[in-house]
């Protein structure tokens, strides 16, 4: 079974791209604090790349911004690509099926 559920804060505004075939893709990065402190007494975080497609991609772009708390449900996917200097790189990301908008930052006052 390949199922992932995460709750964390967006590290930046959603990055939206439209492919040549018209499909919408949004990339979000979710920061998730660890439950324990490191040896310096600081809570560390993991930063997880998440990919959203079509309707869920458009809704997330419209309703989520940097600092908002979101819940995502999806599956892990690993892919690879080759760089210009023939080095093979691997990427692990979450392909999102569902996003829950938990909270948002209030607008900043000027």
Domains and CATH numbers, the chain: 4-103 (2.40.50.140)
Quote the pLDDT of residue 106. Answer: 60
pLDDT band at 109 (very low <50, low <70, confident <90, very high): low
Mean pLDDT of 74-86: 95
Residue 66 backbone phi and psi in degrees, to 5: -50, 135
DSSP state of 49: E
Is the confidence at residue 108, as pLDDT, over 80? no
DSSP for 55-95 reads HHHHHHHHH--TT-EEEEEEEEEEEEEE-TTS-EEEEEEEE
Can you give the pLDDT at residue 11?
96
Residue-wise pLDDT for 15-45, tens only, equals 888 888 988 999 999 999 999 999 999 999 9
């Amino acid at each position: 079974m390949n199922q992932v559920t995460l709750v964390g804060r967006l590290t930046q505004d959603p990055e939206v791209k439209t492919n040549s075939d018209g499909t919408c893709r949004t990339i979000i990065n979710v920061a998730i604090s660890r439950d324990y402190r490191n040896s310096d007494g600081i809570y560390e975080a993991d930063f997880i790349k998440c990919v959203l497609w079509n309707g869920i991609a458009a809704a997330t772009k419209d309703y989520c911004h940097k600092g908002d708390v979101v819940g995502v449900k999806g599956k892990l996917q690993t892919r690879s690509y080759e760089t210009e200097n023939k080095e093979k790189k691997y990427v692990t990301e979450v392909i999102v099926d569902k996003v829950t908008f938990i909270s948002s930052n209030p607008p900043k006052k000027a």
